[in-house]
Every structure is written in C-alpha cells, then in structure tokens.
Amino acid sequence: MKDGRAASLEQVARAIADKMRNGALVGLGSGTTMAAVLPTISRELRKRNVRVRWVPTSLQIALVARSVREETSLMDRSSLDLVVDGADQVDSDLNLIKGGGGALFREKVLIDNTKRTAIIVDQRKLVTKLCSGEVRVPVEAHPFARVPVAEGLLSLGGEPRLRLGERGFPFYTENGNLVFDTLFKPVARPEVLEMEIKAIAGVIESGIFTPRPIDVFVVRDDGTYETRRRSS
C-alpha cells in the first residue's frame, strides 16, 4: 500500500500526463521528484498511445528516462511544449528557487523557452518569500571567476558558500562550473535579485526562477494534491 506522498505523486503524474499530446517536446528536470514521477507519466502515456520526446537536464534523469523506454532528445527547436520539474522552494507568487541538484543552467534554458511549466513540490516547500528558513540560492559560476563572483554575491548582501562534493572537493556541474549556495535575507523582489546576480561577471546562472505561465502541483502527505496557477 502506498504512503500518502507516493499516492499524491502518482495522482500528479497522471494529471500531467493527461495534458500531453502526441509528438510534444517536453523538458525534463533533474532530481528525486522527477525520477519518482517519470515512470507513472510514461505508463499513462503508453495507455493513450502517446509518444513524446524528452529533453533531459542531466545524465542522471536521462538514464531514468531510458530505463522506462522514453525517447530523449536535444533541444532541437526554439520552443518546448512543456517543462516538468521540481523546486527547492516556492513563494506566494509562485517564484522558485531551484538548482539543488546542480542542473540550474540547463533547467533555466528549458524553462525560459517553453510554453508551459509544471512544477511538483512538497507542501513543506511553500513559503511567503524565497530564502525563508535559510534556504540558499544556488549560483553557477565559471571556475576562472570564483573569487570575483563570491565577492559580487557578498556585495549584494549574500553569504556565498562553495558547494563541495562527498569527499570535500569542489562540486562541478555537468557544464564544468562551480556552484555557490548563497544565503540571502527573505527576498521581496526575486526578479530584481535574479537580474543583479546575473549581472556579476562570471556568473553562468542564478537559481532564482520566475517562469510564467506556471502550474505548481503541491503534494500533500495525506494522499491529495492541489494546483496553483499563475499566467502573468
């Protein structure tokens, strides 16, 4: 028997699959949530004889997609039909912090070039303002600019912390870059902070996301879910 969260995730996966149409090009975010829902989405698509192409944001999620016999693809056109992803935090205006898995650059590229974004999160990740509870903003930076990027983040009022791997060495993204997990005070205007971070020379991408339109599927422990939407 499934626990409440697993049952909730299955319902969400079915709801998302139901909106997909044959031939769609779909962006696929990384992380444990995507790995959990993809098999159900794949199963539901097969029931309807619907085939889509997935654009994965990491090797990890590409392997999950291939394990359930889903076709993976490069982003071979300028606009995706949908991106399905998770998030580390969601504020009351449906702005996001993402990048806990280190795939923020590729996730930002897909989300900035899609018609629709579907985000799946646990209810505990909902907050009034981003960075509440000391959740940090991942910032991907070129290794050559490690010191000036850290100083630039400090000048914005942030507290950057270089992400380390399991053995204590710097963590490198699949793009060969470093990540600074940066603590800010709760953010009143995420879109402004995102632009300020991106303006620092050497920053590749910011983990603040402000996609529109967006559907956020909130997974609850009691086996239910709710959908929050914003179009502009």
Q: How far apart are CA 113 and CA 109, in angstroms?
A: 6
Sign of CA dihedral 158, 161, 162, 166: negative
Which positions ≥6 away from 97 have C-beta within 8 Å?
87, 88, 89, 130, 131, 135, 136, 137, 138, 207, 208, 209
Residue 107 falls in the annotated catalytic set: yes
Identify the active-site residue in 10, 44, 70, 107.
Answer: 107
Contact 206, 197 (CB under 8 A): yes
Contact 203, 172 (CB under 8 A): no
Contact 79, 115 (CB under 8 A): yes
Which positions ≥6 away from 26 have C-beta within 8 Å?
20, 52, 53, 54, 55, 80, 81, 82, 83, 84
With both helix axes pointing from N to C terminus, report the angle between 32-47 and 4-18 in degrees, rounded to the nearest 10. 50
Q: How far apart are CA 208 and CA 170, in angstroms?
A: 22
Task: List the one residue out of 159, 203, 161 whose CA is nearest residue 185.
Answer: 159
List residues with catalytic annotation. Answer: 107
